[in-house]
Amino acid sequence: MCMDRLVESYPTGDPGDACRILGPIAIMQADLEEISEFGLQTSIFGRPTPISRLHHTVSSLHHFESGHWVSTYKSRPAAFFFTSGDFHSDQFNKAIAGRRDFVRSCRRGHAERNYSGFSLADGTIIWTLKYVPLAASRCLIFLRVIRMQKFSDQVKEMPRRERRVLETLLYALPFLLAQNLVPAILILKTKKNAVLRYLWIFWSVFVFYQWLQIPISHGESGTYVAKVGVQLFIVILQGFNLVLINPLDRDELLQTKVTGPRDDLLRQVYKVARLFTYLRGVRTPWQVKGIPSHPAYLELQPKTPISRSAFLVRQAAIVAWLYLYLNCANSLADRNSSPLSKPIYGLGYLRVSREEWRTRIMTSLMFWFAFLRAAVDIDYRTASILSVGVGLDAPEDWPPLFGRANQAYTLRNFWGTYWHQMFRWPFTATSNYLARELMALPRPSLLERYTNIFFVFLVSGVMHVMSDLLMGISMSQSASILFFCSMAVGVMIEDAVQAAWTRVSDSHRPGGASTVDSDGYAVPCWHKLVGFIWVCVWLSLTTPAWLCPLQMSKEKSLFLVNIPELVGTRKAIAITVGGGLLVKYTFRGEL
């Protein structure tokens, strides 16, 4: 049965109406062959995998009154949750009314994995329990239908955008628990050389791989899918560090006071699981370098340790301002969009127009020193409010995420002092193992030093490629590895120039007007000026290649309250500026 006949058989003959009623069932039964024409990409490496090869042929359908469906497949039974979503999006109608054109457009673009019939954000399909017997699938469906029906009804009554994000986060919860709790229990309950520790890596990779199979959506939930994916991936690296190459056990955790002798098992598991989530190792023997100290506003408070109420009030005020800023920035970007043209590599950079150079420079600097910093910082501060507010952590466990921007006058300082050090521990542990243990490079040596730096940025690039895949950007389009590896090249150039200057000037720290850097050395002001120019140039050369595919992904930001729409853009900007001054002078906000 083809889709044309299916639509014609519906009384109104309207594709949107047919899909609103039949929804994903129509797609699964009637349009299966047409979807496989362009190959729905489900491979981790971005290679097209036709649906027919995945044995996605429906042999039976079982209907529940709640609107959930279980579909059985010829070779490999699986469970699908079909929820009541909106099936009348423009892209969905295009897929039905003009499927041939849609297929050709998918071949030209990067939307192979974004077919609306398989959109998690639309609430159409949640792919779970792959390769699990059908009986277990039916049991899970039954529990979901019977026990969670009231909650499901409440979720359906939520606004569509909020419902999308909530569905994604609820679906992510078991993945996050499985990925974080298993290595924590292994550390507590097994010896350092136990066989189970080596088997864990297969489990962790399997969990992450299953998350990669989530149907991609270009919507509000897409960003959250990518964030969860990054967390799942980073646990693999941190587990590789703490479970295998630098293994911890219960005795060592007691000696380092990460856990206490009176802690029950649940508390111990929580404290160890924190090592896989709070990756800077704050207040542990493994605390990474470059973590900023607490702001002067908190250190000047009369209470010692830091007052919980003062910490929460300050964090809440900054979160409110960051929300205002991101809301206004997004609104202005949507109205005055000037997307970067396709990045040109090699000597093609010399042919870029002056106007485009101006756009690239401004976009790169705003991205690194304003927008991305705010977007990452608001998540961190919100998490700190929740953790400290419910009493799980102390304010001392949550130092600032970012350093001072005035220290970013070299690429080393940019990545090692100014930028967040959230992934430094697992990245450096992995790079040290590869360079020093696996390759056995002599230490100390220039070869070992720069190989180590290269591996750190390479691992970072791989992590961001995983994020790109979850946002619908294929490996062939992603420039993450190229961008982050270019940072290693920039550091090498920087070190070479500094070494040459030291020899020529015959003085490591020449006199003149200077300021003091984070290491306590006096840095001449003109050195900083030249350094800032260098950092800005390198970021402007490399960042557009990374941002272009991200702009094409069409991700949307979710704002529960859109301030510019409520009060107008000008008033929203004025409120943001006024709020920024209030945070700066009342709570001593630092940039």
Q: Kindly list the domain boundaries of the chain, sorted by start residue.
A: 3-157, 166-277, 307-401+561-591, 403-554
Read off the tokens for 152. Answer: 């499901």
In angstroms, the CA 68 to CA 582 distance is 50
Contacts of 273 (CB under 8 A, 6+ apart): 180, 181, 184
pTM: predicted TM-score of the whole model, two decimal places? 0.73
Read off the tokens for 476. Answer: 């062939």
Per-residue pLDDT of the chain (591 residues; tens, 9 = 90+): 333 333 333 334 333 333 333 333 333 333 333 333 333 333 333 333 333 333 333 333 333 333 333 333 333 333 333 333 333 344 444 444 444 443 344 333 433 333 333 333 333 333 333 333 344 444 444 444 444 445 455 555 556 666 666 777 788 899 999 999 999 999 999 999 999 999 999 999 999 999 988 765 545 567 888 899 999 999 999 999 999 999 999 999 999 999 999 999 999 999 999 999 999 999 999 999 989 988 888 877 766 788 899 999 999 999 999 999 999 988 887 766 555 555 555 556 667 788 888 888 898 999 999 999 999 999 999 999 999 999 999 999 999 999 999 999 999 999 999 999 999 999 999 999 999 999 999 988 999 999 999 999 999 999 999 999 888 888 888 999 999 999 999 999 999 999 998 888 865 554 445 565 655 567 888 889 999 999 999 999 999 889 888 776 655 566 767 888 888 888 999 999 999 999 988 887 776
Classify strands 58-63 and 69-73 as parallel, antiparallel or unpaired: antiparallel
pLDDT value at position 216? 58
Number of Cβ within a 10 Å radius of residue 64: 15
In angstroms, the CA 301 to CA 323 distance is 26
Provide the Cα torsion 578, 579, 582, 587; round to 10°. Answer: -160
> Please, are residues 46 and 476 in contact by the beta-carbon 8 Å criterion?
yes
Contacts of 351 (CB under 8 A, 6+ apart): 344
Task: Give the position of tokens 């699964």.
Answer: 28
Phi-psi region of 133 (alpha: psi -120 to 50; beta: other; left: phi over 0): beta
Q: DSSP secondary-structure letter at 111?
A: -
Read off the tokens for 136. Answer: 């277990």
Distance of CA 511 to the CA centre of its chain: 44
pLDDT value at position 341? 55
Q: What SS3 class is residue 249?
A: coil
- Backbone φ, ψ for residue 576 (5° rounding): -65, -45
Q: What SS3 class is residue 127?
A: strand
Apex 484 CA angle, 481 and 487, nearest 5: 145
Read off the tokens for 150. Answer: 């009231």
* Alpha helices (runs of H) in 278-351, residue ranges in sequence order: 296-299, 308-335
Tell the burial category of 414 from Cβ atoms under 10 Å away from its Cβ (0-12, 13-18, 19+).
buried
pLDDT value at position 144? 43
- Backbone φ, ψ for residue 70 (5° rounding): -120, 130
Apex 366 CA angle, 365 and 372, nearest 5: 110
